[in-house]
Structure formats: C-alpha cells, structure tokens
C-alpha cells in the first residue's frame, strides 16, 4: 500500500477517532460525577418516568421544583435544613434532570411536566401542598396551578420564569437545539468539554452578583450538569418553554390559587419587573417581595428564602 493511500486513510479516520475519544471522555466524566454526587433520596415510577425525590421533615407539606439545568441539590445545599424543623419538605428532580428520567417519548413542555408533577402529588397522597418553583420551576408550578388547582394549596415562586423571554440568557444559549438527533450528538461530543471550559464563567453569571459557594459542585449538585443526559434534558426543557408559556400567560387572570413571588433585585437571568412585578396586574391577589440578591436565592439567600416560604405556609394556611 502506497504512502499516499495510507495517509488518505489516516486522514479519513481522524474525525472518527476524535469523536470516539469525545464519547469515551463523556462516559468517563459521567461515571466520575455520579460517584462523587450520588442520589440523595428515593424513586417512584410514574407514566414511564423514573422520578428521584427527597422527603424530609414533618408538618405542613411543601414541594420544591428546581429550575433549568438544576436538580434537587440546589435546594438541599442551604435551604432544606432551614425548613424541616417546621415543614415536610419534598424536593424533586424533574424528569430529564438530576437522577430522574423522562418517559420514552415524554414531552418536556411546561404543561406536560406540570401534569406529571400533579400525578406525583397525587401518588404521594399530598393534601394541597405549597408548591414552590424556582426559575423554570416557577413556570411549571404555574402550569400545575392552571390545570390542576385541586392538588395545590398555594404557590410560592422564587425568581420565577413567568413570561416569554426575548433573548435566551447567555449561559443557556448552547442549549437551544431543536433537532433531537443533533442534540444527542452535541451532548456526547463537544458539550461536556465546553461546559468544563466555561464552568466558572457560567456560574459567575448564574449566581451574580453573589459568588457561588466553593462546594456547589458537589453539595449543590453542580457536577451533575457535566453529563450528556443532563445536557439533553436541559435542552429539551428550554425548547419546551416556547410550546406552552405564551398560551399560559393568556390564562393567568383565571388563576384561583394564592401566589407569592420572591425575587432578587439584582437577578441577572430573569428580569424581576417583567417576571415579578408585572404579575401583580395579571393575577388577582398575587404578591411580590423583593430582596437584595441575584438569581440563585435558595443557595445565596437561604435564610430569607426560608422565611418567605414559612410565611407563605402560614398566610395560605397550608395544612
């Protein structure tokens, strides 16, 4: 075989070797991450979805729903231990996030996720709990209140997404992938190296103006984002927002569930005026409380967040 032919074969094989190396790297990182940050709770199967959740404490029940790219450790890092002296706290990994799996062919649209969490509430026989949504979790909590008001006592929303955004925040723009096959290819090749390279920059934006805790990678579950399945799930979540949120906003005036909102005045991810203050005009009786801080209040302002939630439980008479 001539030298030229060998060179051509080597040249053609090089991209395949690079892709294979990236896939192996992603698999290695996944194993290392899941060893360092294992599941904290228990599991339940619902409509083909495999749901990981944590159930702690006694008293009136609250259900915590995390935001985009997050998981339940966003709440257990600093917040949950401040609540369990008075409340029964149930934190859930949304399907496609953390250690929860979406059903085969399951939708990531807001209403579909709200439907599943409503079934979760019924499956655990929870009596009209306070449903707490952070960021994207806030939009899902609103979907539950719109379509399943019978299973919700009230909503307490922390830095919630409530209206469509003109621009996707910088840390999440790489997730905007409509094609499912392209999403998986990106997830198993360039997504993980890119996330590692930009990790500190991304955290600085998401947490700003505060700094992320040094142990957020492990105790806060940040490392769990360095897995292909987490990238796929988060991308599905982000794309799914556009399916339902515009239609949901037209129905806000029909909400009958009591709602309280907590927002940081320096939130760099979601605008506290359009997503918070403007809601007071759309939803009768809705209240908004502002505190100094950014987007990650459950981690950076746990005491203020805990007091907000306990006050909501008292105000809305959650049993």
Domains, the chain, with CATH or none: 44-315 (3.40.50.1820)
Identify any residues that bridge with 101 across adjacent strands, giving them in sequence order.
50
Let me know: does 102 contact 47? Beta carbons within 8 Å.
no
Q: Which two tokens stand for residue 252?
A: 């806000």
CA 133 to chain centre: 9
Question: How far from 8 is each of 3, 20, 235, 261, CA to CA, in Å?
Answer: 9, 19, 37, 62
Structure tokens at 35: 């060893």
Q: What contacts 300, CB < 8 A, 6 or more positions away?
A: 207, 210, 293, 294
Each residue's pLDDT, cut to its tens digit, for the chain (319 residues) gives 566 655 545 455 556 667 677 788 788 888 999 999 999 999 999 999 999 999 999 999 999 999 999 999 999 999 999 999 999 999 999 999 999 999 988 888 999 999 999 999 999 999 999 999 999 999 999 999 999 999 999 999 999 999 998 888 888 988 999 888 999 998 988 888 898 888 888 999 999 999 999 999 999 999 999 999 999 999 999 999 999 999 999 999 999 999 999 999 999 999 999 999 999 989 988 999 999 999 999 999 999 999 999 999 999 988 8
| 210 backbone φψ class: left, alpha, beta (φ>0; ψ -120 to 50) | beta
Q: What b/e string do you get for 28-39 counting C-beta neighbours within 10 Å, with b at 16 or more?
A: ebbeebeeebeb
HEC profile for 32-97? Answer: HHHHHCCCCCEEEEECCEEEEEEEECCCCEEEEECCCCCCCHHHHCCCHHHCCCCCEEEEECCCCC
Cα 318 from Cα 207, distance rounded (Å): 31
pLDDT digits (tens, 9 = 90+) for 46-65: 999 999 999 999 999 999 99
| H/E segment holding residue 261 | strand 259-264
Whether the CB-CB separation of 243 and 110 falls below 8 Å is answered with yes
Q: Give pLDDT tens digits for 216-239.
A: 999 999 999 999 999 999 999 999
């Amino acid at each position: 075989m001539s030298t030229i032919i060998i060179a051509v074969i080597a040249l053609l094989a090089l991209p395949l070797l690079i892709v294979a190396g990236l896939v192996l790297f992603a698999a290695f990182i996944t194993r290392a991450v899941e060893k360092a940050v294992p599941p904290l709770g228990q599991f339940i199967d619902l409509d083909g979805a495999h749901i990981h959740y944590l159930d702690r404490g006694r008293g009136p029940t609250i259900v915590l729903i995390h935001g985009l790219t997050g998981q339940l450790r966003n709440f257990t890092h600093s917040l949950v231990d401040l609540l369990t002296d008075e409340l029964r706290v149930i934190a859930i990994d949304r399907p496609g996030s953390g250690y929860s799996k979406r059903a085969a062919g399951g939708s990531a649209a807001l209403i579909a996720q709200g439907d599943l969490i409503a079934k979760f509430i019924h499956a655990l026989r929870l009596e009209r709990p306070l449903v707490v949504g952070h960021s994207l979790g806030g939009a899902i909590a609103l979907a539950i209140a719109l379509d399943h008001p019978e299973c919700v006592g009230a909503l307490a929303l922390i830095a919630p997404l409530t209206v469509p955004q003109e621009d996707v925040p910088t840390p999440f723009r790489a997730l905007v992938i409509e094609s499912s096959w392209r999403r998986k290819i990106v997830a198993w090749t360039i997504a993980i190296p890119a996330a590692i390279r930009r990790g500190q920059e991304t955290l600085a934006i998401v947490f700003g103006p505060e700094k992320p805790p040094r142990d957020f990678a492990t105790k806060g579950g940040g490392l769990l984002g360095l897995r292909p399945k987490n990238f796929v799930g988060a991308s599905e979540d982000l794309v799914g927002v556009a399916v339902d949120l515009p239609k949901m906003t037209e129905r806000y005036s029909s909400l009958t569930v009591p709602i309280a909102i907590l927002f940081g005045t320096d939130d760099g991810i979601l605008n506290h005026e359009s997503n918070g203050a403007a809601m007071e005009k759309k939803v009768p009786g809705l209240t908004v409380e502002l505190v100094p801080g950014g987007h990650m209040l459950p981690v950076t302002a746990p005491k203020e967040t805990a007091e907000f939630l306990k006050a909501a439980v008292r105000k809305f008479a959650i049993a």
